[in-house]
Amino acid sequence: MTVKTSSVELQVMWNRLMAVVDEQAQALMHTAFSPIVRESGDISAGVFDVNGAMLAQAVTGTPGHINTMAESVKHFLKVIPAKTMRPGDTYMTNDPWLGSGHLNDFVLVQPCFHERKLVGLVSSTSHLIDLGGLGMGPDGSDVYDEGLIIPPMRLVDRGIINETLMTLVKANSRTPFQNEGDIYALIACCDVAHARLGQMMTEFNISSLAAIGTYIHQVSHRASVAAINAAPQGSWQNRMMIDGYDFEIELVARLTIDKGLIEVDFEGSSGCSRFGINVPLNYATAYSVFGLRCIFAPEVPNNAGSLAPFRVRAPLGCIVNAARPVPVAQRHIIGQLLPDVVLGCLRRAMPKHIPAEGASCMYDLPMRGGFDATANEQATRFAVELTHNGGTGARPGKDGLSATAFPSGVYGSQVEVTESTAPLLIHRRELRPDSGGAGRYRGGLGQIIEVESHEGQPFDFFGTVDRIKYPARGCFGGSDGAPGQLALRSGKRMQGKGKQPIPAGESLIFQTPGGGGYGDPRKRAPARVARDFAAGLISKKALRQVYGVCLKPDGSVDRTATRELRRT
């Protein structure tokens, strides 16, 4: 059979591939058991050619899953060569250095056969709540403390599930029922993508994905290179201090743009921590490249062609190129700050295109109760992972976004879902006034969330957050965003990292950081300041002292008084 090669036909096929992976992602979210997958979208889904090059990825998902998955499939092909693959097979791993950077992310790959011939592969990733060990905290001394490691291996052999492997996964988890359901959901979504890919090939009367793959990669690569060549050429450096755990960490990046290629080098960054905040290079690359893709040809879909012009390097043993077997359970704390680090380099080269720093790191708070030997017999056993977000940095010409999942893309945990899946009560979830950095364009606001056990039982939370000591920085005269904060209702301050108990009758109050401001706050339009105040986004103190705006009793701007105040 001959493939039609007109650009219109190929573009239609490309669009159809995008529909295939979007349905794949929806199948995963609709069938998953864990709320972080089902409700928050902590997943990825994609279609690959026979060589492991990504052709399309679903628009739903996280950069940490999507961009690591883009390379993970190649690791599977090294262990399980294409010639040994058979119809009905599905393979799985959670190896952090081959998959998505920590043990709780499972990557599945399924070979796709059409007319008895291997034509491609489909892959999906999702987060499982508990894999044993010390759990989803950063306190392990090595990766073996953090849970069960599964190398790339057959999960399904010619349609028959590997019951031994499933039994081991369930036996090494505090949430075996959820884990089993999530793995079956991953298998199901690969099955859906496989079936839809076959239907597409039949409909278009093609027996190979080679032509459409070449078209996708060439068009995407050409557009990305053109965008890079239109930018200033040269090298720029940026530094960022962050909280760390056992020591404060400095992240250093040098970005070089040269002849259609962008290279980021993290030489000079701090060394590895003793605790599980270290980042495998695959995950550091995923988020660094995502930050750059937001600037360079963001309209081009993610695939092997659009990713090819970006390179990321880091010395082995530094915090963003952790060597096996250091602990990496909370690699996302630092990994999700890397877009701000690399964009900080570009701010020097393209000041009118780069936003201020944002909260960036997800306020990911695993909680667990009822498992300790001292636990009350009436206490419900539970293990959940709440995900919440702070504000993004203000943009050139626009305010930042409040309580928004950037760069992770992981939606905030819903109150009703949290309360229905664990014995927890959310007393409040509201925007945090004055947390967005002041500026001509204001940083996005963080949020305040208060949670306690509705059974009156103690429980543990695992601090896995940053930006408590070092907030998101404003730029061009804009103020820094408010730092994050963790505390008990009684007033006791909690640490940003590590396992910590919440006593019976107490509640945990966490405040997520705000994004940095952009430009001089005194140049913000007074009418916009008045609207912020009316909406409760800024205080009366900030209204006058920071923005220099006076209001009349009816809430409208007193232009004469404002003009005089801004002169002082």
Contact residues for 496 (Cβ-Cβ < 8 A; gap 6+): 243, 463, 465, 466, 468, 484, 486
CA dihedral 123, 127, 130, 131 (to 10 degrees): 30
- pLDDT by residue for the chain (568 residues), tens only, comes to 444 568 899 999 999 999 999 999 999 999 999 888 988 889 999 999 999 999 999 988 899 999 999 999 999 999 999 999 999 999 999 999 999 999 999 999 999 999 999 999 999 999 998 999 988 889 999 999 999 999 999 999 999 999 999 999 999 999 999 999 999 999 999 999 999 999 999 999 999 999 999 999 999 999 999 999 999 999 999 999 999 999 999 999 999 999 999 999 999 999 999 999 999 999 999 999 999 999 999 999 999 999 999 999 999 999 999 999 999 999 999 999 999 999 999 998 999 999 999 999 889 889 999 887 666 777 899 988 899 999 999 999 999 999 999 999 898 999 999 999 999 999 999 999 999 999 999 999 999 999 999 999 999 999 999 999 999 999 999 999 999 999 999 999 999 999 999 999 999 999 999 999 999 999 999 999 999 999 999 999 999 999 999 999 999 999 999 999 998 8
In sign, the C-alpha dihedral spanning 72, 76, 78, 81 is negative
The strand pair at 90-93 and 105-114 is best described as antiparallel
Instruction: Give me the pLDDT at residue 61, please.
Output: 87
Q: Which two tokens stand for residue 240?
A: 């960022």
CA atoms of 343 and 337, how far apart (whole Å): 10
Q: Nearest CA to 53 among 280, 218, 217, 297? A: 217
CB 305 within 8 A of CB 216: yes
CA atoms of 414 and 246, how far apart (whole Å): 32
CA atoms of 462 and 442, how far apart (whole Å): 31
Long-range contacts of range 544-549, CB-CB < 8 Å, 24 or more positions apart? 546/438, 546/479, 546/521, 547/438, 547/521, 547/522, 548/521, 548/522
Please tell me what DSSP assigns to residue 201. Answer: H
Instruction: Give me the pLDDT at residue 3, please.
Output: 44
Contact residues for 116 (Cβ-Cβ < 8 A; gap 6+): 87
Domain boundaries, the chain: 7-221, 356-522, 525-568
Radius of gyration in angstroms for the set of CA atoms belonging to the chain, rounded to a whole number: 24
Instruction: Give me the pLDDT at residue 373, please.
Output: 63
* DSSP secondary structure letters along 503-518: -TT-EEEEEPPPPPPB
Please tell me what DSSP assigns to residue 404. Answer: -
CA atoms of 213 and 331, how far apart (whole Å): 32
Q: Which fold has domain 7-221?
A: Beta-Lactamase (3.30.450)
